[in-house]
Amino acid sequence: MADYHFVYKDLEGASTQWDDIQRKLGNLPPKPPAFKPPSFTPAEDPDSKPRDRAWVDDKTEEELEDLEDDLDDDRFLQEYRKKRLAEMREAAKIARFGSVMPISGSDFVREVSQAPADVWVVVVLYKDGHADCELLLQCLEELAQRYPATKFVKIISTDCIPNYPDQNIPTLLVYNNSAVKANYLGLRSFGRKCTPEGVALVLCQSDPVLNDGQGGGEQSKKDVLDGVRKSFIEKVVTAREDDDGSSSD
């Protein structure tokens, strides 16, 4: 005859009256709290957000490209999507520059002569340890940050042109659409005191060389010169305010 054993198990967390009396007397440890599952919070559906400008602004360039077919029934959002894509691509184009990039002789054709037709390239021929070169490079670094749509590069003079005379350095060359548009020998071209604003004004005498990208790559010479003059005035005013503040101390 089979021997069956039954084990009765009460509900989890339940206790008998006897156990309760023993806990009051301190003979048993406190009863553990009953298990309570965490409350369920459904995940937010990304497609549940209203489709408006803010919704488009949250998308990456890749996501906006994928949305082309989904927005066919909404002409406004489709046009806004195209506008945002154009802005992103222009910003990515501008982000390529913003500093004076060192190049070698073997890089010159690719980086300068073959630069896109809509990009102005400013090339400085220099040598390390040359005081005039260091001063001009400081000015160009500031201009490169201020006008990130203009490409600035630097190259050792004799690496660019063998036996190039030191008396001609620094030399500044301006290229556009594979052609030399201007060249400047030494610091004398930029006045008695070489400043970023002075260099900027000389560079833009004949062409809108400097571009901050805010004009979509189509800034006129007048617009650029007005921006340079405004920047120069702001710098002078700031310098005077700093001088007045330090003298009052």
Domain count of the chain? 2
118 shares a domain with 223: yes
126 shares a domain with 81: no
pLDDT score of 144 more than 70: yes
SS3 49: coil
Q: Is position 44 within any domain?
A: no
Using CA atoms, how far residue 101 sits from 31, 170, 190, in Å, is 72, 16, 22
Predicted confidence (pLDDT) per residue in 16-32, tens digit: 776 777 777 777 777 77
pLDDT band at 109 (very low <50, low <70, confident <90, very high): very high
Tell me the average pLDDT across 209-216. 67
Domain range for 86 = 52-94
87 shares a domain with 108: no
185 shares a domain with 66: no
61 shares a domain with 149: no
The whole-number pLDDT of residue 110 equals 92
Q: Is position 45 within any domain?
A: no
pLDDT score of 85 more than 50: yes
Which of 64, 94, 124 is the endpoint of a domain? 94
d(CA 236, CA 199): 16
End-to-end Cα spacing for the chain: 107
Indicate the average pLDDT of the chain. Answer: 76
229 shares a domain with 107: yes
Handedness of CA 107, 141, 138, 136 (dihedral sign): positive
86 shares a domain with 108: no
- Helices vs. strands in the chain: H and E counts, helices first: 9, 5
Q: Name which of 187, 188, 88, 209 is nearest 133 in CA terms.
A: 187
119 shares a domain with 155: yes
147 shares a domain with 82: no
Torsion of CA 43, 44, 47, 50, to 10 degrees: 170
151 shares a domain with 186: yes
Q: Which residue has the higher pLDDT, 213 or 4?
A: 213
pLDDT band at 235 (very low <50, low <70, confident <90, very high): low
Predicted confidence (pLDDT) per residue in 19-72, tens digit: 777 777 777 777 777 667 776 565 554 554 555 556 556 666 566 566 655 555
Q: With a threshold of 0.85, does the pTM exceed it?
A: no
223 shares a domain with 139: yes
The whole-number pLDDT of residue 189 equals 86
Q: Is position 24 within any domain?
A: no
Which of 72, 94, 116 is the endpoint of a domain? 94
Tell me the average pLDDT across 151-159. 94
Quote the tokens at residue 108.
């010159």
Q: Are strands 151-156 and 100-102 parallel, antiparallel or unpaired?
A: parallel
SS3 149: coil
152 shares a domain with 185: yes
Tell me the average pLDDT across 192-205. 86
The DSSP code for 120 is: E
Peptide bond into 170 cis (omega under 30): yes
Q: Are strands 179-185 and 171-176 parallel, antiparallel or unpaired?
A: antiparallel
- CATH number of the structural domain spanning residue 174: 3.40.30.10
Q: Is position 73 within any domain?
A: yes
Which of 94, 112, 128 is the endpoint of a domain? 94
Q: Is position 8 within any domain?
A: no
